[in-house]
Amino acid sequence: MSDWKEEVEEVVFPGKICVPYTWTVGSTMSKWYVLMRDEGQIWANRCPSCGKVYIPPKAKCLECYRDVNDWVRLPGTGTVETFTVVHYEEPSMHPKKPPFAYGIIRMDGADTGFVHLIDEIEPEKIKVGMRVEAVMSEERSGNILDIKYFRPID
Ligand SMILES: [Zn+2]
């Protein structure tokens, strides 16, 4: 009777928990989101030392570790560097029903890629190197979907 715990088959049930939480995006990202929300504009920031332009903006330059405090407004156009087409439906993670495309957009005037939706084109017609422009949401709330998506311009 004393060793029954060593012989028992352990029964395990799958579980799932939902833990709501909030977090701060920090002052640099807050400024970026507020500019998109209130002005409908897309900004980046530029390292005053090496000149690298970041979008999304960075508090510290990833190249030279200097504070990045210079802000530059971007024209809202760019080039698709790469993309993927999503076929898996996951409403808690994706803002759209599949199939849809995420791209890495190199915005004009920036030195970094920026992940966002590509729309107004059939996913199979998207090409690397394609020129795109940002479409801002009519109702903006200070998050990444204040840019509704990018659409082809050529
Ligand atoms: Zn730098």
**Contact criterion met (CB below 8 Å) for 104 and 82:** yes
Calculate how far, in angstroms, residue 33's C-alpha sits from the geometric centre of ligand 1: 22
On whether residue 112 sits in a domain, the answer given is: yes
On whether residue 3 sits in a domain, the answer given is: no
Residue ranges in the chain modelled with pLDDT below 50:
none
pLDDT at 1: 60
On whether residue 5 sits in a domain, the answer given is: no
pLDDT at 2: 74
Token representation of residue 83: 């993309």
Calculate how far, in angstroms, residue 111's C-alpha sits from the geometric centre of ligand 1: 11
Question: Into how many domains does the chain fold?
Answer: 1
On whether residue 13 sits in a domain, the answer given is: no
Read off the pLDDT of residues 19-56 as tens digits, 9 standing for 90 and up.
999 999 999 999 999 999 999 999 999 999 999 999 99
pLDDT at 92: 81
pLDDT at 94: 87
Calculate how far, in angstroms, residue 68's C-alpha sits from the geometric centre of ligand 1: 8
* Dist. CA 107–CA 27, nearest whole Å: 22
HSE at residue 78, side-chain half, CA atoms within 13 A, is 27
Q: What is the rounded end-to-end Cα distance, in angstroms, of the chain?
A: 78
Containing domain of residue 44, as a range?
A: 19-152
Residue type, position 79, single letter: T
